[in-house]
Amino acid sequence: MTDQARAFWLREPGRGEIRTVAVERPGPDEVLVRTVRSGVSRGTETLVFRGEVPADQYGIMRAPFQEGELPGPVKYGYLNVGEVEQGPPELLGRLVFCLYPHQTRYVVPLDAVVPVPEDVPADRAVLAGTVETAVNALWDAAPLVGDQVTVVGGGMVGLCVARLLVGIPGVQVTVVDTDEERRSVAHSLGAAFTLPEEAAGSQDLVLHASATGSGLQTSLALLADEGTVIDLSWYGDKELALHLGGAFHSRRLTIKASQVGTVSLARRGRRSTTDRLRLALQLLRDPSLDALVSGSSPFADLPDVMSALADGRLTALCHTITYDEET
């Protein structure tokens, strides 16, 4: 037997719609989840919405429960918090996080959901995928006690990285962004803030999350000799122009990519992706991360919301989607 739910689909680049979809009854090793909140990843999801994923990356960029194919029609997303309506007794009525697209109800294997700690509200729990990205980045970066560290790019990912760095004893953390409005958010997370032209150099480590060539160039300029930029940005099909002349070589600088699709090599032998996600949800007990949840809209408005986020008419860090009246 099947029931019905409603889901957000990208019909074609730049045009989204709400569709009625079938939901099968859960089997013995599955759960039925009613979505309470979902979050929009402004980086990857807006690239997908605009159709800016290179064709040779379609397979790599698949979301865990994606339906359809890039560039569209496709059901895409991965920041979902819901309540278990059918499943094992210990999960009934519990909030869980799942890497599922924007949909009112869905059925997934039991091992695809991770319980949300009881003291983490749903709005904050949608950040789990972003905090997981930040955890992986710090496993890649391996900052040391007392380091001077700069995060270039004060979006969702950059600010999550900054907050985790602040918890390391003696680490001085500065967020660099062109948007002055990010200053108060950075300060609320315990980090300093500066505009690019005012940023201090000789940094032990720089993590780049602005998804711009100018941000990556700034990151290189801020490093101490023989330093490393950990690049978390996903550029889609954009081409970057970098100046890698004398200073890059003479100072022996390094650019290292970090991405969340696989567990960092530093922990891959001892941590699974589920372990990493559980850790991210534990870290979300930190109420200061509420500063990253900067707006919300009802599910029915999601096609217009995605369009506004993609073209810059709507500015937000993490924009959440509410499902309070959805069936």
Of the pLDDT bands very low, low, confident and very high (cuts 50, 70, 90), residue 327 is very low
pTM of the model: 0.91
DSSP assigned state of 251: T
Contact in structure between 292 and 318 (CB atoms under 8 Å)? yes
Q: What number is the average pLDDT over the span 57-74? A: 91
Q: What percent of the chain has pLDDT over 90?
A: 79
Strands 15-24 and 2-12: antiparallel
Residue 112's pLDDT is: 95
For residue range 190-214, list pLDDT tens digits in order.
999 999 999 999 999 999 999 899 9
First to last CA, the chain: 17
Q: What number is the average pLDDT over the span 138-144? A: 95
Contact in structure between 319 and 310 (CB atoms under 8 Å)? no
Structural tokens at position 283: 């870290």
Domains of the chain: 2-127+284-322 (3.90.180.10), 132-257 (3.40.50.720)
Q: What percent of the chain has pLDDT over 70?
A: 99
Structural tokens at position 81: 């918090």
Residue 226's pLDDT is: 94
Residue 43, pLDDT > 80, answer no
Alpha-carbon span 284 to 104, nearest angstrom: 24
Residue 243's pLDDT is: 87
Q: Which residues pair with 65 in a beta bridge?
A: none
Residue 158's pLDDT is: 95
Which residues are CB-neighbours of 279 under 8 A, at least 6 positions away?
A: 132, 135
Residue 325's pLDDT is: 58
For residue range 19-36, list pLDDT tens digits in order.
999 999 999 999 999 999
Strands 74-75 and 67-68: antiparallel
For residue range 261-313, list pLDDT tens digits in order.
888 988 999 999 999 999 999 999 999 999 999 889 999 999 999 999 998 88
* 207: nearest Cα among 226, 228, 193, 234: 228
For residue range 77-110, list pLDDT tens digits in order.
999 999 999 999 999 999 999 999 999 999 999 9
Q: HSE, CB side, 13 Å, CA atoms: give it for residue 242.
A: 18
Residue 160, pLDDT > 50, answer yes
For residue range 276-288, list pLDDT tens digits in order.
999 999 999 999 9
Average pLDDT value for the chain: 93
